[in-house]
Structure 1
Amino acid sequence: MATVEIRDLDVIFGKNKAETLKLMDQGLSRSEIRKRNGDVVGVKGATISVESGEICVLMGLSGSGKSSLLRTVNGLNDIARGELWVEDGDRRVNVASCDEATLRHLRTHRVSMVFQKFALMPWLTVAENVAFGLEMQGMSRKEWTKQVEEKLELVGLFEWRNLKPNELSGGMQQRVGLARAFTMDTDILLMDEPFSALDPLIRSQLQDELITLQKRLNKTILFVSHDLDEALKIGTHIAIMESAQIVQAGAPEDIVLHPSNDYVKNFVAHTNPLKVLKGKSLMTPLDRLAEDPVSHQIDIGSAMCLVKNEQGKIVALKSHTATVPFTDWQCNGSMDDIQKGMAVMAPAEIGMREAMEIRYRTGLPVCLEQEGNCVGVLTDEDYYEALI
């Protein structure tokens, strides 16, 4: 069951919502509706599910509706029509129709938010800013001190806990915002372009930190961005928005390989494919390769073949000079032990950047496995396709 599930959701800014809904149903565009009655369609017909532990990135150009959609999850934007279900323990709450008490409960116990402009209170210390939400829950300073110090340690700001926000760099201030959200210990985290105001180097560092923290905390994150490289780097799923509508949603690799329209195609046109493509998408599958019926060796080209053992399992790579047993390598493993002439068997989920480095170091094709069985091979032609 999805932690956040959005169904046919509309958001309208203006005083004529009933009329605007009728105009939307008649097929009028955002600009036509605005000319007709002054209302602005913020989100139109959005449907998306976010599973527990995912980072779902909402992205698009300025004005596409991504922040408008994000802010419906904690009730900051009213829902004109549709459903928005949030998992709350053993029940599900429809934010579109829940009462104020339930909405307050969601905001204090289920959903936290990290803002683009840090939203820190300059008269409070770092620790007091992080503890603000806990104080709003009625927790005493003695009670929140340990929790706050743990979260500041988590984001590397413990020694700065008694400073004021203006004594910190921009990147450190954003980490205070992250610590404040983590301190609330909610399962759902909303992040509205949190790194966009930072320098590129600091932004990249915080993206890395978020990925590392997510591995430890396993939050369900909705992250708004207009930067596709950022979305591809941190997102497990991406929803691309145009003119208040979700035009494509899916895994980063699927969006890069199969854009649904020209808008998405233009978005991904200048993306570095090595950042997102996996070996399984570009490998030559084993069933496309010819097997010698006598030797039971599989020809992979360039005078090389795969060697099977008596049980039919692929165990070695044979060239005209030697037969080399496979060495298993795991994703994100060390490259230090990869040497010239080594035959490597890697998971099918390997990133193409890592696969290319293994190819460069060994001088040999990289074979890929899934569930313990070889499923394909990455030849030089496959690498060329990735780059093209």
Structure 2
Amino acid sequence: MNKNNIITLTSLLLFVFALISCGGNSSKFEVKGKLDNVTEGYFYAAREIGDSLLVDTVRINAKGEFSFSGTVDTLTFMSLYFNQNTKSTYILVDKGWTVELKGDVLFPDLISVKGGSINDDLTSFKEQNKDMLKSRVEILNVLSEAVEKDSVSGKSFAELKNINFTLSNIAANYVKANPDKIASVMLINTFFKDETSIPRLDENLELLRGEAAVFPLTLDLKRYSAKIKQSTVGTPALNFTLKDLKGKDVSLIDYRGKYLLLSFISTTCEACDRERKNAVEVYNQLKKDKKNIDFATIVMDTELEPISKNTLDSVKWTLLPDHGGWSAKTVEQYYIREIPYSILISPTGIILERDVSFLDLPKKLDDILSGKSK
């Protein structure tokens, strides 16, 4: 082989190695920035890879500066959690993207996220509505403190409701003007993924076009809507059969002819224990008044921790263990995402109301029986 051939072969090999090197880095992304009021020297970055959840611990210095990188195969949603998971925001990363964050974690909705067209679009939305978004966070902080002091103000709730309504209208207008943008999907997820907003969720999803219409989150939102609709107010309650504590089969249809308060609790839930006293008092009073109502409680996590003696001694209605935690069949059927949680069902098996408070139940029942309730 002559000298020219050697030089040619060497150059070709270097070119091939360069291509391989570039191809190897093409799936890399980088995230960096400067954030204020991070209370620890780290935060968490979580993203799904297939069926797995990958959580990275990201170091952040005393000045709030940080940087981390990784690889992805496609556009990926990433959640960031700060200050012992009490504050969070999200970003999107993709192959070759450099994403930069700047802002205050105490106001996560206002954190600027630049890099990648979707992040840029969402940051533009934040900047255009920053005053309203800041007011919402401030009201939420006031409400959080008030709940701890048991001094919640109805005025704060009204203000929050008005701000959320205005922001949802602004988001709807954005979707209408930008039906092909992934940013529209993210705004739909933020403002309309709620049990009470299903009609508006469907309406906005129908507007989506192009890549936004087939984006994975869009398909997830459609599945979410379908799941909610199968157990929403006004629909027939889905039947189930579980064994009670004596091993007897109990079905939902066994309660036909009576109003039923179907509750969901867990043996590992402290809030459920705190609510039990109110539940027992209301149940005893309704039975004393000879109201046509019964209670049934589905109990999660009995495979992890048995039902307590206090519960067994105080609860006089049917308890129905359902194994599988949040994946239990009845929990999925009724789309339960928090506990304790109660659903009121009519004597004909129709769902009358979701998220019912035990203390509010007597008046709600009186309103229904007197025809005052819609």
Superposition TM-score tier, normalisation by shorter sequence: under 0.3
Task: Report the TM-score, using the length of structure 2 for normalisation.
Answer: 0.25
Task: Report the TM-score, using the length of structure 1 for normalisation.
Answer: 0.25
More helix by share: 2
Bigger Cα Rg: 2
User: Which has the bigger relative contact order, CA under 8 A and spacing at least 6?
Assistant: 1
